[in-house]
A = this chain, B = another copy of it.
């Protein structure tokens, strides 16, 4: 038990178990339905040999990264404005509550029209996926700033602008960070949609295009890569947050459980 709860041991055991179940399932259902670990590995090797898998990972990561960063950069000021200005909030909230049920993929055609078939439209789709979640979390954070902090600052002589810069923004940092981290998850989720738009490469392209040729092994390769880079970048962001934002109350690098 002591040994089992030790993190690395258990993680390795878990993966061995998952792989075993997977292999058995593949044996039962056959490779077209469930490509087993070996078949998937072979598929991966095939893609690795000509370097395409690595370049796909690089390209998808780049798109996710840029879209996510830009989306967050836009979302944070918007969230701050919506949170601080009651009149804007009254207008924006019903709209946000309506639009949040519309998936990024629904915007493919429109984004194509607005941003063309190049990188822009793909990145815009990731931005869309990021935007609302960061905005909503920033907004929540702004509304959660303790009134006492604002009052204290005000009676210490801070102007409204100083209150925004020196109180509201730092107090909202943990919420922004949570939003940004959650948004990373949705960004990875949106990559398939983004790479449906005139893409010739990328993990989303791999997953989507492999459907046409019924290469379930490649679909598996794509899914696993997506999961893995998602997992590791999330950890990285978590650690960075803990290191850099400790002051602001970002104290845990554990994955957000929700």
A interface with B by C-beta (< 8 Å)? 1, 4-5, 7, 10-11, 13-14, 17-18, 29, 32-34, 86-87, 90-91, 93-95, 97-103, 105-106, 108-110, 113-114, 133, 136-137, 139-140, 143, 179, 182, 185, 188-193, 207, 210-211, 214, 216, 219, 222-223, 226-231, 234, 255, 257-258
Contact = CB atoms under 8 A, between A and B. Distances in A.
Contact of A188 (B93, B101, B108, B223): B101
Given A108-B211, A133-B258, A113 B227 contact: no
Nearest to A33: B113
Contact of A102 (B90, B102, B226): B226
A29 B114 CA distance: 10
A223 B106 contact: yes
A182 B226 CA distance: 23
B227 A33 contact: no
10 contacts: A5-B90, A13-B91, A32-B113, A33-B110, A101-B226, A102-B189, A109-B216, A109-B219, A136-B257, A182-B258
Which applies to chain A's interface (DSSP): helix, strand, loop or mixed?
Answer: helix
Contact of A219 (B10, B87, B106): B106
Given A136-B258, A211-B108, A258-B137, A102 B10 contact: no
A105 B231 contact: no
Contacts of A34: 110, 113
B137 A106 contact: no
B211 A90 contact: no
B227 A109 contact: no
A140 B231 CA distance: 19
Given A113-B32, A257-B136, A258-B182, A101 B211 contact: no
Contacts of A87: 1, 4-5
A228 B4 CA distance: 48
Nearest to A139: B257
A190 B113 CA distance: 23
Contacts of A5: 86-87, 90
Given A99-B227, A103-B192, A106-B226, 19 more contacts: A4-B87, A13-B91, A17-B91, A29-B113, A33-B110, A33-B114, A93-B255, A97-B234, A98-B230, A102-B189, A102-B227, A103-B188, A103-B190, A106-B192, A108-B211, A109-B214, A109-B216, A109-B219, A133-B258
